Structure 1
Amino acid sequence: MKALVCILLLLETFVFVAQQQVDGGLNENEISQQISSEDERQNPPRTDTLRAEASTDSQQYCNLGIPDIHAALRELTATVTEQKANIRELTTTVTEQKGNIRELTTTVTEQKENIRALETQLREQQTFILDELKKKNDEISNLTLSKVEELRKENREREIAFSAGLMQSGSGHVGPFTTEITLTYRKVLTNIGNAYNPVTGIFTAPLKGAYMFRVTIYGHGGTAATVSIFKNGEQVVVAHDVQAQDRLNSSNGVVLVLDVGDVVYVRLWPKTRIYGISHENLNTFSGFLLFPLREQELCRM
């Protein structure tokens, strides 16, 4: 029973010392005083006999292997001191981590501001690009419309074609004559560009280019029917037919490269004749612009 009391006393003393070390620490004298106070509280003095018994029991308990209280307290003090050092180290680490967290928070805030600034800049750039694209599209549209109108005008200028019949009205023979004559095809069927003159029978080229011309003739047997297409006074092609009797006809065509002002016309040969009927247009002279030519293309030809 006394051994149990002694053990409880020692445990209570260990707990108290540990609490004091955590709260502020005790020196060895204070610890000894505390132990003495606790001993007196638990074992008030009664008689000399009891003291002697307690001393004898204490000696016996110590001899039984109860550890030295001072060594235990020193070990406990060292442990508490080590724990305090660890706590201070952890506190320092936590403080550093808090500083790092604040620094990271500041960095994140700055990055957010940078991102917002970049988003604003991007929106401004997008708006600028869209405005520029709209301007370019408007310019292209205007240029396209202008170019289309220019091409239309140019095409209108390049729309050159004519076709004419020999007889304006009635019917009858033309020829024979003793010399060549220029035929005047008075019944104008088509005259786009007004390059053909029905009074003179002459086509005058308004543009440099390649032109297609064609002539058809009709006559009666017994007298030849012969005509030629001329360019600037030079014979180019001939349409000819001759028979003893019955009808006769012929045709011919040519592609000519003309400069501005060049003339093309049809001439009837001497001693030949052709026969025309106004509503049938048996004798015709036609021509049209195939395509215009630039100056260098014309020179190569």
Structure 2
Amino acid sequence: MREMLLVGLVFIAGVQSAAVSILTDEVSQNSTYPNENEISAKNVDVFRQLLNQETIIRMNLVKNVHTLMKDMLMLNEKLSDAEEQISGIRTSTVQEISDLNKQVELLKVENAALKNKTAVDDKEIMILKEKLENVSNTLTDVKVEVRYLSITVFGMNNDFKEIDERFQELENSTKEIETEIRVNIKSNVATLSELETRHLTLIDGLKNTTSSLQSDIDEYEATQLKISATLSSLELFRINQTLSKCDPKQEVAFTAGVTSSSSTWNSGTLIFNSVILNVGNGYNPSTGVFTSPVAGTYVFYVTAVEYNKQYLKVDIVLNSVSKVRTMGYSDAAYQTGTNMVVLNLQKGDSVWVMYNDGTGYWTQTVPATTFTGFLIG
């Protein structure tokens, strides 16, 4: 590019010089004056003036050519400097791009490592949740069994005082165990919640929490063994009393539960559609209402588990009159409300569980929310 511009300028200067030089350097073949002797003094003055003008023009052209050459050299130097700067910029840009690519690769590797670490943490948290849920399910089953056996023992006619004393002892022991279990479960739930929000920064603490949970599970298992031993002795006593002193003609008893949870239930009768026992056919699983087939004294027991933290109150009602109430408070999830009532019924009286306050209830395929009743005399 620079060479072409230089050649063009030289060519233009040469053409202009050649054009001017025609006045003196070249002899015209078509001259009007065939002989110099015939030129007048006037014409000589004209030629002198033209010669002077040609000299001035040539000097100006030479000066202009030198100026152009100087400008061309300056332009060449500036262009060379610009090319060096562009080359330096390109080199630095390539280096910066290379450095950025390396940093991107490092970030990709770190991101992949963080994702893998997060996946491992999530798996450990899921394992802890499963263990905690298994413990909770086991405790729920134990409580249901304890309550059922307690109600059965309470229903014995003979040796009623001795059975009642044992029942009170078992009830107190059960309440203490339930309180301890709830405290431990709340502690475990809080620990799990903290792990879920900080699992990226508390990997080392997770091992300690796992050890703590394992210790709690071992403690629960030991407690369960104690309860099982107590229940075994009570069951043997109940069997002996049943075989020796119960009158099968007077038996009326039922236990029913719900097998699917509801987060929206907020009115009417709670229908326990899954019948576990219905001696005497007094309970109707379609309506949720127990109708006494014979007059007598009956015991009724209800267990209602709140849905998450939605708060729940239900009543045991006799002929539309509330007798006792349960409450699952909303300070923690899946709180259990229980209550029991002894009622004198006439034949045809109706007893059911009715909504009082809150929303929804929780259960499992093995019922956790149940309704029980039986005749004691």
TM over 0.5: no
Give TM-score, length-normalised by structure 1: 0.44
Higher-helix-fraction structure: 2
Give TM-score, length-normalised by structure 2: 0.36
Which has the greater radius of gyration?
A: 1
Higher-strand-fraction structure: 1
